Structure 1
């Protein structure tokens, strides 16, 4: 039997930080703003994970909730083709998570992961934990370790 997205995230996290647990909420956290309000933190502390595609290549970009990921940076990271955000169906197929609940690790398909340095300014950040009603509190260093990501400046202005 396939485990739930939340259980998949829990199981993955246990390998790195056995005492780390997702925070669960009664209602779905539809946006970074709603999630930040629910936790009483800055919008930037809510990490958004966005899947981009160039031709048949995918990559996941993780950035602070208050920044915009620049398409030129995405294109530079992916290297080829016209880049665009993946469709909701592609997101679920590649990550194993629905849009709005994409956890930046424990992905269904291995893809390059890029973590934007915009998240470094916070002692703790919150990623989705597989379902829209959950968030996972992590440090920037723990996020890098769990994702095996490359650090980039995807949100910097050009």
Structure 2
């Protein structure tokens, strides 16, 4: 079975995505850690939040400075959502928390992309491990992930 990093690399290559992939000796598990390692703003980090809609994964890709509003997500997916635990995230997506990428999932999630990311360039997302990231633009992120642009942030 391909590693999580290999799945992300393959997904990016399938889409002809040439954004820089970078691996760091330190953790990029949180938006703050990733921004510090990369040298960008926390807002430019596309954090991946996995929620559960029953047995279906919902991937919310949000700006690192925003909190996700579960009620807005529930409205968008047509039913209640809850936070997924680490074991379920790994089983269903194939990623460890802190390394969940917007592509390369074992089970295709419902994908919602925080519309506030559209004002940022570049955007950095996890590339399959807690210390590897890739850069992209907003339109490419939407196309790569097959996501729906949505207002998902609190407030």
For the aligned pair, the TM-score class normalised by the smaller chain equals over 0.9
Residue 6 of structure 1, CA deviation: 0.9
Distance 1:37 1:8, change over 3 A: same
Inter-partner Cα distance in structure 1 for 2:131 and 2:18? 20
Distance 1:121 1:53, change over 3 A: same
Inter-partner Cα distance in structure 2 for 1:149 and 1:87? 22
> Structure 1 stretches of 5 or more lacking a match?
none
8 Å CA contact retained: 2:34, 2:45: yes
Secondary structure in structure 2 of the residue aligned to 1:19: coil
In structure 1, the residue matched to 2:36 is: 37
8 Å CA contact retained: 2:27, 2:33: no
> Structure 2 stretches of 5 or more lacking a match?
none
8 Å CA contact retained: 2:46, 2:61: yes
Instruction: Name the count of aligned residue pairs.
Output: 155
8 Å CA contact retained: 2:35, 2:45: yes
List 4+ stretches of structure 1 deviating above 2 A: 17-21, 54-58
8 Å CA contact retained: 1:14, 1:20: no
Q: Where do 1:117-132 residues align within 5 Å?
A: 117-132=115-130
Inter-partner Cα distance in structure 2 for 1:57 and 1:80? 11
Residue 116 of structure 1, CA deviation: 0.7
Match among 127, 136, 139 for residue 138 of structure 1: 136
Inter-partner Cα distance in structure 2 for 1:64 and 1:96? 22
Secondary structure in structure 2 of the residue aligned to 1:36: helix
Residue 64 of structure 1, CA deviation: 0.2
Match among 110, 113, 123 for residue 112 of structure 1: 110
Residue 156 of structure 1, CA deviation: 4.9
Answering whether residue 18 of structure 2 is matched by residue 7 of structure 1, we say no
